[in-house]
Amino acid sequence: MPVTHLTEAQFEPAVLKSDLPVLLDFWADWCGPCKAMEPMLDQLAAEFAGRLKVMKVNVDENPRLAQAFRIQSIPFLALVAGGQVVDALTGAVDKKTLVAMVEPHLGAAQVGGVEIWDPKKVRAAITANQAIAVDLREPVDYNRAHLPGALNLPLEGREAALGGMGRSTAYVFYARTAEGVDTVAKQANELGHAAIILEGGLLNWEASLFPIERGARKV
């Protein structure tokens, strides 16, 4: 979701009634530090697409909004969630500070209505027996390396196997990367399973230095 420009007339529907948290960047053309932060805000909007809206407010063109937020200097960043200002920062800050500001107010990342979990969260759920990993690769690849306790659900016979899986636990679907996993996870979700997608797939899991298993096990 790209960074968009906000006007006073758009404030209520776009910010106060937004289903997503909104990060407001109050800026002006003459503000050097404001312009220096633009690439960082673009990155933030891209990384948290679907979970956060980033909107720019020109204080010279929207003086009533600047007055409402009692802005005395810029850049000024305000985070609005549920129609309320939940945090604010004045002055140029680094990306780490911005991420720390917005992350506590973000919902889980989703694609097609299915949540995306990072490897750390997936590992915790598997360790606590709250989720079972499901490997969507072909058996030869699955046998080389897979997540601990993962079931193998290759293309052949996948539809029937999905229908026969139990519904008493959550299933974390993954492949080598995240590509194509959303289609299967969405299908599982529609069948009544608690479906989850492993962010970045097996490659991201291994990059996190988490343990793997070898050998065969099928649904």
Predicted local confidence at residue 216, as pLDDT:
65
Q: Is the pLDDT at 205 greater than 70, yes or no?
A: yes
**How does pLDDT run across 145-203, given as a tens digit for each residue?**
999 999 999 998 898 899 888 888 899 999 999 888 999 999 999 999 999 999 899 99
Q: Residues 34, 65, 131, 195: which is the catalytic one?
A: 34
| Sheet order of strands, 84-90 included | 4-5, 53-58, 22-27, 76-81, 84-90
Sketch out the chain's domains with CATH numbers: 4-107 (3.40.30.10), 110-207 (3.40.250.10)
Q: Is the pLDDT at 22 greater than 90, yes or no?
A: yes
The half-sphere exposure of 36 on its side-chain side, counting CA atoms within 13 A, is 10
Percent of the chain whose predicted confidence (pLDDT) is above 70 = 95
Residue 34 bears catalytic tag = yes
Residue 144: count other Cβ atoms within 10 Å of its Cβ.
12
Residue 151 bears catalytic tag = no
For residue 105, give the DSSP letter: G
Cβ neighbors of 130 (< 8 A, separation 6 or more) are 169, 170
Q: Residues 15, 31, 74, 196: which is the catalytic one?
A: 31
Predicted local confidence at residue 168, as pLDDT:
82
Cβ neighbors of 58 (< 8 A, separation 6 or more) are 5, 27, 28, 29
Q: With contact defined as beta carbons under 8 Å apart, do 135 and 150 qualify?
A: yes
